[in-house]
C-alpha cells in the first residue's frame, strides 16, 4: 500500500503456465466441474453479459467496497497477459464496478476477461469489443472511486474462494475455479470425461441409424 493509496497490494504469486491455460480453454466448464467432484462453481447468478462470452485465465483477485472501483483501477498496474480479473464487489446492484473504459484497458493489457461479483455497465460497447465480462447484472449508475480495497489477495466470487493464480474458466453455462495446485490432475480427468461425453454422442448417432421412419 503506497502512502497515497488505501488499496493494499500483494504481488508475486505463481501463475499457471500458458500450456495449462491453453488446455483449460479447450474444455467446457460443466466437464471441468465433473472432474472436480462437481464442486468449485460460483453460484448461478453470475453470467456472461453478452451471449457467447467465454474466458479462461489466471485469477487476479480484487476486493472493492460496494459501489466503488478504486481498487479495480489500481489493479491495471498489476495485469499480466493471461490474467482474468476476479472482482468481489459484494454483489451490489446499485453501482456498476466496470464499464467499457476499464474493459478496453484490460483487453489492451492482455487480460482474458473479468468476473464481477456485482454489476457492470456499457454492455453494448463491451460486446462490440468482444471482451468477456461476467457479472450479476447491469446498471447505468457509475461507481465512486474512494477505496479501500485489496489486489492480489484471496477473494470470494459467487461463494467460491479465489486465490491469485487459480485457474478460472467461464462459459455460457457458468464459472468454475480450479485451484492452481490441482491443475495437472484436473486436466487429465477432464480429458477422460470429454472422451466419455463424445462416446455418448456417438451412441446417440448410432441410435438414429436404427430408427425406422
Ligand X SMILES: O=C([O-])CC(=O)C(=O)O
Residue 84 contact among ligand X, Mg ion, none, beta carbon within 5 to 8 Å by kind: none
Q: Which is nearer to ligand X, 8 or 123 (CB)?
A: 123
Q: If contact means CB under 5 to 8 A according to the sort of partner, which of Mg ion, ligand X, none does residue 40 touch? A: none
How many C-alpha atoms does 177 have within 13 Å on its Cβ side?
A: 25
With CB cut-offs between 5 and 8 Å by kind, which of ligand X, Mg ion, none does residue 143 bind? ligand X
Stretch that binds Mg ion, among 13-21, 54-62, 112-120, 121-129 (CB under 5 A): 121-129
Decide whether 140 or 159 has the Cβ nearer to Mg ion: 140
Looking at 33, 67, 99, 132, which residue binds Mg ion (CB under 5 A)?
Answer: 99
| 127 touching Mg ion, by CB under 5 A | no
Range list of β-strands (E), the chain: 7-9, 47-48, 55-63, 83-88, 113-117, 119-120, 133-135, 137-138, 149-151, 155-157, 160-162, 167-170, 175-178
The count of other CB atoms within 10 Å of the CB of residue 178 is 25
Cβ pair 157, 88 in contact under 8 A: yes
Residue nearest to ligand X (CB): 99
Query: How far apart, in whole angstroms, are the C-alpha atoms of residue 200 and residue 181?
Result: 30
Chain residues that interact with Mg ion, rule: CB under 5 A: 99-101, 122
Amino acid at each position: 500500500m503506497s502512502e497515497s493509496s488505501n488499496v493494499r497490494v500483494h504481488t508475486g504469486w505463481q501463475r499457471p503456465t500458458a500450456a495449462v491455460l491453453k488446455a483449460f480453454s479447450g474444455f467446457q466448464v460443466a466437464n471441468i466441474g465433473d472432474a472436480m467432484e462437481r464442486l468449485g462453481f460460483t453460484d448461478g447468478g453470475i453470467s456472461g453479459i453478452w451471449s457467447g462470452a467465454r474466458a479462461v485465465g489466471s485469477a487476479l483477485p480484487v476486493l472493492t467496497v460496494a459501489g466503488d472501483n478504486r481498487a479495480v483501477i489500481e489493479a491495471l498496474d498489476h495485469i499480466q497477459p493471461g490474467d482474468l480479473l476476479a472482482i468481489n464487489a459484494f454483489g451490489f446492484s446499485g453501482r456498476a464496478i466496470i464499464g467499457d473504459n476499464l474493459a478496453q484497458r484490460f483487453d489492451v493489457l492482455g487480460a482474458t476477461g473479468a468476473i464481477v461479483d456485482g454489476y457492470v455497465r456499457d454492455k453494448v460497447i463491451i460486446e462490440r469489443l468482444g471482451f468477456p465480462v461476467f457479472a450479476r447484472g447491469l446498471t447505468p449508475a457509475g461507481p465512486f472511486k474512494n477505496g479501500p480495497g485489496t489486489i492480489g489477495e484471496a477473494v470470494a466470487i459467487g461463494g467460491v474462494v479465489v486465490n491469485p493464480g487459480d485457474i478460472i474458466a467461464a462459459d455460457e453455462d457458468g464459472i468454475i475455479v480450479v485451484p492452481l495446485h490441482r491443475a495437472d490432475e484436473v486436466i487429465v480427468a477432464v480429458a477422460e470425461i470429454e472422451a466419455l461425453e463424445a462416446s455418448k454422442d456417438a451412441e446417440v448417432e448410432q441410435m438414429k441409424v436404427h430408427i425406422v421412419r
